[in-house]
Amino acid sequence: MTRVLDINDNFSVRSHEPVHSGKVRSVYWLTPEDSRRLIDERGYNADADASLALMIVSDRISAFDCIWHGENGLHGVPGKGAALNAVSKHWFDLFAEQGIGKAHVLEAPHPLVWIVQRARPVRIEAIARRYITGSMWRDYANGAREICGLPIPDGLTQHQRLPSLLVTPSTKGVLRGLEGVPEADDVNISRWSIENHWQSFGFQCIEDIARYEAMLKRGFEAIEAQLADVGQLFVDTKFEFGYVNDAEGQPQLIYMDEIGTPDSSRIWDAEAYGQGKTVEQSKEGFRQALLAMAPDPDVLLNKNRMPERQAYACATTLPASLLMEVSATYLQIAETIMGRPVDVPADPRAEIEALIAEELRL
């Protein structure tokens, strides 16, 4: 039976800094000596002095900013981490082939492991929307006719295709003291606010605002086109951007984090949509299941109730069948996208430990 990797911040790695562990991934920053050695030995296209990290993805599942667990000690979704890494790498490779842009990933030596170079992040969640659904629909149904400074026409219905692709950025982290920018994480911002405070958002120059928007739109359209070929609709997604120095030491705007995955995107079955139904091929189905089973769904939707939400998530043991349904969704959409099954490690911890000690010598 395939094992779930739920704890990924306790591997023995010669780290240069404390391990950074997020909701899903943990990052081990390597020593300068190991970074230079790997760049040389493995021929990475990176600045010789680039800082590298080992990024290990877990099988944990988060939703509504909480980590969820299931019965029978199931603290994750089997195959989820491998599916996320495989799908992201597929799109990163496509973007490179089409000349759309490069990514922070230098190599994927294991289904749950990336070797990445340190990027200087742009502090924006770059969101693109093709259909009106989710939080945008909830705001629209409550009377909102503007999002991120963009006007939204009257008369739209839930799940309708929008007249054009919308770029609706939000904050990544808390930025303080900026006019027009709420001091909160993950709140909508306008392009006007970004232009007024481009340095605070981490842009190298004001012209890069248009560059990130172009990379967002081109990337969205590239994924959308390939998904259409396999009967899927690309509904909305989130990209993240940052800067690295290339092999000549010049700053370069790149993609980072993950792209086009069931975690960061909504994907719908095209045939079902044509029949008036929405069949989720992403984490949105899990979110809807959580809302349906919650005694008070507002706890999951209201950001002002985060302490209650965290307590509810900790106290709630989900049916194992629900997590296995999520597993099937992730593995199936990944196979549909890539045209081959996901390589799911049978014993992820042992395999990663061997990779670190024997091949990478870290």
The structural domains of the chain, with segments of one domain joined by +, span: 122-274
Total Cβ atoms within 10 A of residue 33: 10
Report which of 226, 328, 241, 347 is spatially closest to residue 281, judged by C-alpha positions: 328
Distance of CA 343 to the CA centre of its chain: 20
User: Where does the pLDDT of residue 2 fall: very low under 50, low under 70, confident under 90, or very high at 90 and above?
Assistant: low
Flag the least confident range among 104-113, 171-180, 328-337: 171-180
Which pLDDT score, from 0 to 100, does residue 218 have?
97
Which pLDDT score, from 0 to 100, does residue 247 have?
74
The string of pLDDT tens digits covering residues 224-237 is: 999 999 999 999 99
Give the mean model confidence (pLDDT) for residues 79-97: 97
**pTM of the full structure:** 0.93
Look at 221 and 173; give whichever has higher pLDDT.
221
Which pLDDT score, from 0 to 100, does residue 249 have?
79
Q: What whole-number distance in Å separates Cα of residue 32 and Cα of residue 15?
A: 10
Give the CATH architecture of domain 122-274. 2-Layer Sandwich (3.30)
Look at 38 and 2; give whichever has higher pLDDT.
38
Q: Around 336, how many Cα atoms within 13 Å sit in the side-chain half-sphere? A: 22
The string of pLDDT tens digits covering residues 261-315 is: 999 999 999 999 999 999 999 999 999 999 999 999 999 999 899 999 999 999 9
Q: How many residues does the chain have?
A: 362
Long-range contacts of 175-181 (CB under 8 A, 24+ apart): 175/123, 175/200, 175/201
The string of pLDDT tens digits covering residues 108-161 is: 999 999 999 999 999 999 999 999 999 999 999 999 999 999 999 999 999 999
